[in-house]
Amino acid sequence: MKVRLTLFFILPFVLSSAISYSQNVVDQLQKYANNFNEERIYLHYDKSSYAPGETVWFKIYMMSAILPSSESKTVYVDYSDEKGNLLAHISAPVLEGASFGSYNIPDSFKGQYLHVKAYTRWMLNFDSAFLYNKDLKILNRTAKTASTVVEPKIAFFPEGGNLIAGLVNKVAFKVNDQFGKPLNVSGVIEDGSGKFIDSLRPLHDGMGFFYLSPAAGAQFVARWKIDKGSQQSTKLPAVQEAGIGIQIGILGDKRTFLIQSPDYGDGRELTVLGTMYKQPVFNFSRTLKDGATQGVIPTAELPSGIMTITIFDDHGKPLAERNYLC
């Protein structure tokens, strides 16, 4: 009788613990989004290219999530040459999320482009990748083409974060130079014995994807080169023997998800959390059956933007994550 009473009280405790873990994650994200909202900046120019002596006219749009930002009152715009030398530092006052300004290109400017960086003081507290950066083309007949050595880089991004053994994994790739500019690439994927697995087929801007179905302990290497470049070899991320795989699909105007795990265990409950601009937008539970679960992502009432889907276990531990355009 005592055993039965113990089990009777343990079961509600386990269920309530799983719910509390999930709610705690949502509460923490909500608190972070409300107290540390991130700003985004976009500059609209009057032309796509300029000549020395001309004036660059621009308008600034500053957003916080999907609304004009009202926090920062000043946007700073830096103009630099190709060598990184600062040419101008402009302060633009912001009113209702907008501002404007101009920059006079010196008559003596000899470069082929101007680099523009825009930011607020608040934005400097976050990842520098979110600062506004753009190169403006300068039509300069006297400019000498710099003989810069191209340093190509390739990166691989398994959908969900990891290559999982026993699953069909979608792997995206991206090729760019040392300045972040995309490069065209050709090449193949081989396994550890040199057997051909797939080709690298860029879809646009040096980016593409392929599929892998690895066994535990498998190793893969990419043999690739850019146009007029030498052969390169790059190892793919290591294959994880255990984990969660997530795939996002498109079905008409809907987005679908497929969560798979070869060893996580049937009957285990997972929490699927969606966020946009750090704000939680949906939160529901799914139970694995035959190593998988799937469904439709509720996006009909959501604004446009980047959504992050994170999968948590019943203790609030993140297992996989996927970004996609909503």
Q: How far is CA 73 from CA 33, 62, 76, 94, in A?
A: 20, 10, 10, 5
Which run of H or of E encompasses 26?
helix 2-35
Cα separation, 209 vs 206, in Å, equals 10
Is 65 strand, coil or helix?
A: coil
Beta strands in 201-265 (DSSP E): 207-212, 220-226, 232-235, 239-240, 245-251, 254-260
84 or 29: which leads in pLDDT: 84
- For range 32-44, the mean pLDDT: 86
* Mean per-residue pLDDT over the chain, rounded: 85
319 or 40: which leads in pLDDT: 40
Per-residue model confidence (pLDDT) at position 196 = 95
Among 15-29, 39-53, 192-206, 244-258, the range scoring the smallest mean pLDDT is 15-29
Per-residue model confidence (pLDDT) at position 265 = 64
Per-residue model confidence (pLDDT) at position 224 = 96
- For range 263-288, the mean pLDDT: 83
- For range 50-69, the mean pLDDT: 93
Per-residue model confidence (pLDDT) at position 143 = 55
Architecture of domain 153-240 in this structure: Sandwich (2.60)
Domain 243-326 fold: Immunoglobulin-like (2.60.40)
Residues of the chain with CATH 2.60.40.1930: 39-138, 153-240
304 pLDDT more than 90: no
245 or 3: which leads in pLDDT: 245
Q: Quickly state the pLDDT bin for 243 (edges 50, 70, 90).
A: confident
Per-residue model confidence (pLDDT) at position 144 = 57
- For range 190-216, the mean pLDDT: 93
Per-residue model confidence (pLDDT) at position 16 = 44
Write the DSSP string, 300-316: TTPPSSEEEEEEE-TTS
CATH says 39-138 is which class? mainly beta
Amino acid type, 257:
F
* pTM, to two decimals: 0.68
